[in-house]
C-alpha cells in the first residue's frame, strides 16, 4: 500500500514524534512518504522512508486566518500528494499555522485518516482556557476566554468536518468520548494508543541510576515547549518544600528553558536535548513527574514508564488510561500542590517501592506502548494488514492493564 503521512510541523512536540515513528514503522512493509512542514523545501530518502519537506511561511507573517485557510500551502500540499499518488493519506498535526484546517478537505480525493492529538478540533486552541474547561460540550456558547471567536471557530471547524470524509484515530478513550460533541464523532473512530520504540527506551544497567544514595535522588521533568500548562509552576514549590527533608534532592528540567529557574538551588536546566539522547536522561533519573494541567497521552510519560521509572502525574485527559495508581505510579488532581508534594514524598522515602513501580511500568509499556502494536493496529484500520480484512472502527473496552479491571 502507498501511504502518505502528513505532519504540519516537524520536529514539534510528542505528536510530531508519533507521526514520524508511525511513518517509519509502516515503511518497513509499505511504500510510505512522510510530508511535513519545515523551513525549506527538500525531498530525500531516509532508509525505506521518503521524506518531503514543504517550506512554510514564517509564523510572524501569518495571521489568525492561516489556522483555517492557507491557499498557497494547501495548493502545494495538493501538488505533493498528486505527485506521490498515495492510496491513503494520514493527517497528524495541521494546526500551529502549518497546513491549516482547509487541508482536511483534500480527503475528498483520497481515503484519509486523521489522528487527533489534542483538543484543537473542539476548541480555539489545543488547550482550553482554563485547561479544565469543557465548554465544547455546549458548542462553546458560553466561552469567556474567546467570546464570539469561540462560536465562529466552532461553526467553521464543524463545517469542514462535515465536508471531509475522514476516518478518525484517537490515542485515548477520553478524547474519543469528547468527539461525541462534534461532527467528528459521527465518523468512523479508531482507538489506537500511541507507541514508542521499546528497544530504544528500556531500563538501563543497575549502575545507571537508583543505586546512588538517597541524597542524590533526581526528579525528572520533561516538556518540549515548556508552556504554563505543563505544570512546572506547581512542581517547583513542591520540589523546594521537599528539599527541606531531602537536602540532596535534584530536579532536572528538560525542554525549553523556563523563566525564573536559573540559579535555584538543586535545579538543573538541561534545555532541549536531542531525541537520541533522551533514553539516557530517563535512565539517570529516579522519578518522573508530570503535573500537567491538560494533556492527552503524553509521549514523555510512555518513555519514562518504558525505561522503568515510577511516575507521578496528574489525572487529566488520557493519563488515567496510562498510569495504574499504586502500581506504576501516583495520580493527583491537577493544580493540587500539597497532593503532588505528598505523592512525591512517599516515593522518595521508599526506594524499594520505586523499583517495583518502575518494573510494573515497564510491563505496562510492553503491553500497551509498543510501536509495533500501534503499527499493526493502524494496518488493521487501513485494511492493509497481511491476511486480514479491514475492520470496523470502534472504541474498544480498555485493556485490563490500563483500566485495572474496570469496564
Residue 386: pLDDT band (50, 70, 90) is: low
Is residue 242 within 8 Å of 344, Cβ to Cβ? Answer: yes
pLDDT computed for residue 66 by the predictor: 79
Can you tell me whether residue 374 is helix, strand or coil?
helix
Report the DSSP beta bridge partners of residue 52.
Answer: 35, 43
Domain ranges of the chain: 2-195+371-403, 206-368
208/121 Cα distance (integer angstroms): 42
Would you give the DSSP letter of residue 135?
A: G
Is residue 310 within 8 Å of 361, Cβ to Cβ? Answer: yes
CATH superfamily to which 2-195+371-403 belongs: Glycogen Phosphorylase B; (3.40.50.2000)
CB atoms within 10 A of CB 367: 13
pTM for the structure as a whole: 0.90
Beta strands in 259-355 (DSSP E): 267-271, 287-290, 311-314, 329-332
CATH superfamily to which 206-368 belongs: Glycogen Phosphorylase B; (3.40.50.2000)
CB atoms within 10 A of CB 378: 23
Is residue 71 within 8 Å of 62, Cβ to Cβ? Answer: no
Q: 44: left (phi > 0), else alpha (psi -120 to 50), else beta?
A: beta
pLDDT computed for residue 32 by the predictor: 98
Residue 61: pLDDT band (50, 70, 90) is: low
Q: Do the domains 206-368 and 2-195+371-403 match in fold? A: yes
CA distances from 34 to 17, 19, 27, 246, 379 (A): 12, 9, 10, 47, 16
pLDDT above 50: residue 397: no
Is residue 53 within 8 Å of 37, Cβ to Cβ? Answer: yes
CA angle 205, 238, 15 (to 5 degrees): 60
* Interval 3-32 mean pLDDT: 92
The per-residue pLDDT for range 230-263, each reduced to its tens digit, is 999 999 999 999 999 999 999 999 988 777 788 8
Would you give the DSSP letter of residue 56?
A: P
Chain-wide mean pLDDT for the chain?
90
CA 177 to chain CA centroid, nearest Å: 17
pLDDT computed for residue 59 by the predictor: 67
Amino acid at each position: 500500500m502507498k501511504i502518505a503521512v502528513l505532519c504540519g510541523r516537524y520536529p514539534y512536540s510528542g505528536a510530531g514524534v508519533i507521526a514520524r515513528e508511525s511513518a517509519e514503522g509502516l515503511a518497513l512493509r509499505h511504500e510510505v512518504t512522510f510530508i511535513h512542514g519545515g523551513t525549506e523545501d527538500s525531498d530525500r530518502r531516509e532508509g525505506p522512508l521518503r521524506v518531503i519537506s514543504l517550506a512554510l511561511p514564517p509564523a510572524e507573517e501569518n495571521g489568525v486566518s492561516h489556522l483555517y485557510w492557507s491557499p498557497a500551502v494547501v495548493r502545494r500540499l495538493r501538488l505533493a500528494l498528486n505527485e506521490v499518488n498515495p492510496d491513503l493519506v494520514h493527517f497528524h498535526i495541521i494546526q500551529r499555522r502549518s497546513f491549516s484546517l482547509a487541508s482536511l478537505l483534500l480527503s475528498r480525493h483520497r481515503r484519509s485518516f486523521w489522528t487527533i492529538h489534542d483538543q484543537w478540533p473542539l476548541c480555539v486552541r489545543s488547550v482550553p482556557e482554563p485547561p479544565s474547561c469543557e465548554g465544547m460540550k455546549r458548542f462553546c456558547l458560553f466561552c469567556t476566554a474567546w467570546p464570539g471567536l469561540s462560536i465562529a471557530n466552532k461553526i467553521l471547524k464543524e463545517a469542514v468536518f462535515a465536508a471531509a470524509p475522514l476516518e478518525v484515530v484517537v490515542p485515548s478513550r477520553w478524547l474519543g468520548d469528547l468527539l461525541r460533541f462534534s461532527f467528528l464523532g459521527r465518523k468512523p473512530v479508531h482507538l489506537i494508543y500511541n507507541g514508542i520504540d521499546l528497544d530504544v527506551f528500556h531500563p538501563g544497567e543497575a549502575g545507571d541510576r537508583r543505586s546512588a544514595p538517597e541524597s542524590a535522588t533526581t526528579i525528572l521533568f520533561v516538556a518540549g515547549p515548556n508552556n504554563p500548562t505543563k505544570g512546572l509552576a506547581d512542581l517547583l514549590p513542591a520540589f523546594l518544600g521537599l528539599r527541606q527533608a531531602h537536602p540532596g534532592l535534584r530536579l532536572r528540567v528538560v525542554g525549553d528553558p523556563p523563566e525564573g529557574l536559573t540559579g535555584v538551588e538543586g535545579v538543573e536546566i538541561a534545555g532541549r536535548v536531542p531525541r537520541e539522547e533522551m533514553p539516557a536522561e530517563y535512565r539517570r533519573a529516579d522519578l518522573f513527574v508530570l503535573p500537567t494541567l491538560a494533556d492527552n497521552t503524553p509521549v514523555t510519560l510512555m518513555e519514562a514508564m518504558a525505561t522503568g521509572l515510577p511516575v507521578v502525574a496528574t489525572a487529566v485527559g488520557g493519563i488515567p488510561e496510562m498510569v495504574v495508581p499504586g502500581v506504576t505510579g501516583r495520580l493527583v488532581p491537577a493544580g493540587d500542590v500539597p497532593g503532588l508534594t505528598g505523592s512525591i514524598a512517599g516515593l522518595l522515602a521508599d526506594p524499594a517501592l520505586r523499583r517495583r513501580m518502575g518494573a510494573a511500568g515497564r510491563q505496562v509499556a510492553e503491553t500497551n506502548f509498543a510501536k509495533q502494536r500501534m503499527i499493526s493496529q493502524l494496518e488493521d484500520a487501513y485494511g492493509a494488514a497481511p491476511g486480514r480484512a479491514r475492520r470496523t472502527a470502534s472504541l474498544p473496552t480498555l485493556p485490563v492493564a490500563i483500566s485495572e479491571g474496570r469496564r
